[in-house]
């Protein structure tokens, strides 16, 4: 049986570290804003010191208070997903919004430049510090630290599925230390093997308390609750409260998360409502507006690079500078995706002769690590995804989004079943979860799963995180060929 460090122990240490860095960042932000707006502080003048602490000190205290009120250091969000970043942004904007409203109502004037400097400096600093802490968590978890020891309760198939998900995602920090199977009888299999790891079976659904004592689990994860029943689950909640062990229940809905899951009591019975994905209305408008502004800004900024690449391509190989590839957009409408040509001119005609060497995802896509059709310049462009930069023109033409599912070929779409066709509910993206999760190294199934997860749960905060991760993925050039 695997042993893990107490979750409460590492969570306490981690939270204390966050509190220190949050304080340092906030104090630095208000100090920078104070110095830039009001000049250097003359500590020989008492009133200067009072003025400094009167403005910056109060703002710093309020800022830290808002970070605490919005639970930005909650164990439920630290180190996982985009919720931690969202809470920081929300707390910061609500603080400055409150200050703006109060200054208007009570007619006290705060220098606008002071706030305009403190807001971005502090928020960026907080996000960067949390990013750094998340790297620490990832480093620790990759080496078996910072783990939450989990006891899974559920049917064999659902328990194995959950355990496999935890084992394949070590960054989540959930280490399975035991399983309780309904109707389990002594003498049956004493352990289950998941991805080469043996996990002990510690009894049935009625043996949870004993299993916790035997395994040292600090969290119980329940899946497929039909064997446990309403009264059994309620008794389990009461038993775990006494032992200060957390209980999490899987709703059984894959790849649906965040705001779409809403708990609502109906007739004194807790029900999880799964809201419909928001593809229309204000959210679509905000995404379209962001796409246009971002794409226009990027194209303007990198225009010298685009011109230089066009000249190099033209001088080093025969054929056009750009390569237009038919892709299927939103609702299955075809469009011409623009890329810099990275292959020889007759590359499309040679696909059949190289078909036997296909290394693409599940055979659906054609990919080769050392494709003989790729030019020398093309290899460099593909390594750093420079050949995809013209796709921002497709974004301006409203055929693509900055972030979205991978742009599919017509022959791919023709093989889609009802489930996979949900990828076409939103515009394909220049980047996406597939770009930051392995790129060409992904299997077909994993690529589809990531695209569907994005379609089901997309948000502007998630898009911004994917854009940030894309820059890192492109720089590392992993999975690009």
Quick one: 363 and 405 in the same domain?
yes
Task: Say yes or no to pLDDT of 151 above 80.
Answer: yes
Quick one: 168 and 25 in the same domain?
no
Which residues form the domain of 209?
Answer: 148-250
pLDDT at 258: 57
Element (H, E) at 88: helix 83-106
Task: Say yes or no to pLDDT of 233 above 60.
Answer: yes
Quick one: 240 and 309 in the same domain?
no
Selection from 119, 118, 127, 125 nearest residue 88 by Cα: 127
Q: Greatest CA span in the chain, whole angstroms?
A: 83
- Residue 270 falls inside a structural domain: no
CB atoms within 10 A of CB 446: 16
| Mean predicted confidence (pLDDT) in 147-168 | 87
Give, in order, the Cα–Cα distances in Å from 32 to each of 61, 113, 438: 16, 12, 40
pLDDT at 93: 94
Across the strands, what pairs with 374? 343
Residues of the chain with pLDDT > 70: what percent? 80
Task: Say yes or no to pLDDT of 389 above 80.
Answer: yes
Quick one: 123 and 155 in the same domain?
no
Residues in the chain: 481
Please check whether residue 425 is in contact with residue 404, taking contact to mean a CB–CB distance below 8 angstroms: no
Quick one: 132 and 163 in the same domain?
no
- Both tokens assigned to 109: 């004037």
Name the percent of the chain in helix, strand, coil, to the closest 5.
55, 15, 30
- The residue among 446 and 207 whose pLDDT is bigger is 207
Confidence of residue 366 (pLDDT cuts 50, 70, 90): low
Quick one: 116 and 34 in the same domain?
yes
- The residue among 423 and 355 whose pLDDT is bigger is 423
- Residue 94 falls inside a structural domain: yes
pLDDT tens-digit series, residues 92-140: 999 999 988 888 887 777 778 888 899 999 999 999 999 899 888 888 8
Last-in-domain residue among 115, 142, 169: 142
- Both tokens assigned to 45: 């003048």
Task: Say yes or no to pLDDT of 77 above 90.
Answer: no
Q: Would you give the DSSP letter of residue 252?
A: S
Confidence of residue 430 (pLDDT cuts 50, 70, 90): very high
- Count how many domains the chain has: 3
- Both tokens assigned to 389: 């930069």
Mean pLDDT of the chain: 81
CB atoms within 10 A of CB 445: 10
- Residue 243 falls inside a structural domain: yes
pLDDT at 178: 92
Please check whether residue 428 is in contact with residue 404, taking contact to mean a CB–CB distance below 8 angstroms: yes
Quick one: 299 and 412 in the same domain?
yes
In terms of DSSP H, where are the helices of 107-155? 112-142
Quick one: 377 and 232 in the same domain?
no
Question: Of the given ranges (135-149, 229-243, 359-373, 420-434), which has the lowest mean pLDDT?
Answer: 359-373
**Which CATH number belongs to the domain containing residue 174 in this structure?**
3.40.50
Question: Of the given ranges (87-101, 261-275, 403-417, 426-440), which has the lowest mean pLDDT?
Answer: 261-275
Please check whether residue 195 is in contact with residue 231, taking contact to mean a CB–CB distance below 8 angstroms: no
């Amino acid at each position: 049986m695997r042993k893990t460090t107490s979750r409460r122990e590492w969570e306490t240490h981690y939270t204390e570290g966050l509190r220190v860095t949050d304080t340092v960042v906030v104090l630095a932000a208000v100090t920078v804003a104070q110095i830039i707006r009001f000049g250097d502080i003359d500590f020989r003048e008492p009133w200067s010191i009072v003025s400094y602490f009167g403005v910056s000190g109060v703002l710093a205290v309020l800022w830290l208070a808002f970070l605490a009120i919005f639970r930005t250091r909650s164990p439920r969000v630290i180190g996982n997903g985009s919720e931690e970043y969202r809470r920081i942004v929300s707390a910061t904007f609500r603080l400055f919004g409150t200050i703006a409203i109060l200054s208007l109502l009570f007619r006290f004037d705060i220098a606008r430049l002071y706030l305009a400097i403190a807001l971005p400096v502090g928020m960026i600093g907080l996000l960067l510090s949390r990013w750094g802490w998340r790297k620490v968590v990832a480093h620790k978890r990759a080496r078996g630290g910072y783990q939450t020891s989990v006891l899974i309760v559920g049917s064999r198939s659902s328990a194995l599925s959950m355990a496999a998900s935890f084992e394949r995602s070590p960054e989540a920090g959930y280490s399975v230390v035991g399983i309780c199977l309904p109707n389990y009888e002594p003498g049956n299999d004493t352990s289950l093997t998941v991805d080469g790891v043996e996990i002990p079976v510690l009894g049935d659904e009625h043996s949870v308390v004993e299993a916790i004592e035997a395994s040292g689990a600090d969290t119980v994860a329940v899946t497929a609750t039909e064997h446990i029943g309403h009264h059994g689950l309620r008794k389990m909640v009461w038993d775990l409260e006494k032992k200060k062990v957390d209980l999490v229940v899987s709703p059984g809905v894959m790849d649906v998360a965040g705001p779409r899951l809403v708990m609502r009591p109906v007739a004194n019975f807790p029900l999880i409502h799964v809201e419909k994905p928001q593809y229309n209305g204000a959210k679509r408008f905000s995404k379209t507006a962001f796409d246009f502004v971002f794409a226009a800004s990027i194209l303007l900024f990198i225009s010298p690079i685009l011109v230089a690449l066009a000249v190099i391509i033209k001088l080093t190989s025969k054929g056009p500078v750009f390569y237009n590839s038919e892709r299927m957009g939103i609702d299955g409408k075809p469009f011409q995706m623009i890329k810099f040509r990275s292959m020889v001119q007759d590359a499309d005609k040679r696909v059949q002769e190289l078909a036997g060497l296909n290394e693409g995802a599940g055979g659906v896509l054609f990919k080769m690590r050392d494709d003989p059709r790729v030019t020398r310049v093309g290899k460099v462009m593909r390594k750093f995804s420079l050949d995809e930069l013209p796709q921002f023109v497709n974004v301006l033409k409203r055929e693509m989004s900055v972030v979205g599912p991978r742009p599919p070929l017509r022959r791919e779409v023709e093989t889609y079943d009802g489930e996979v066709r949900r990828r076409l509910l939103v515009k394909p993206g220049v980047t996406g979860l597939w770009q930051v999760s392995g790129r060409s190294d992904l299997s077909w199934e994993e690529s589809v799963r990531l695209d569907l997860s994005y379609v089901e749960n997309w948000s502007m905060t998630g898009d911004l995180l994917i854009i940030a991760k894309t820059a890192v993925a492109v720089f590392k050039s992993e999975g690009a060929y």
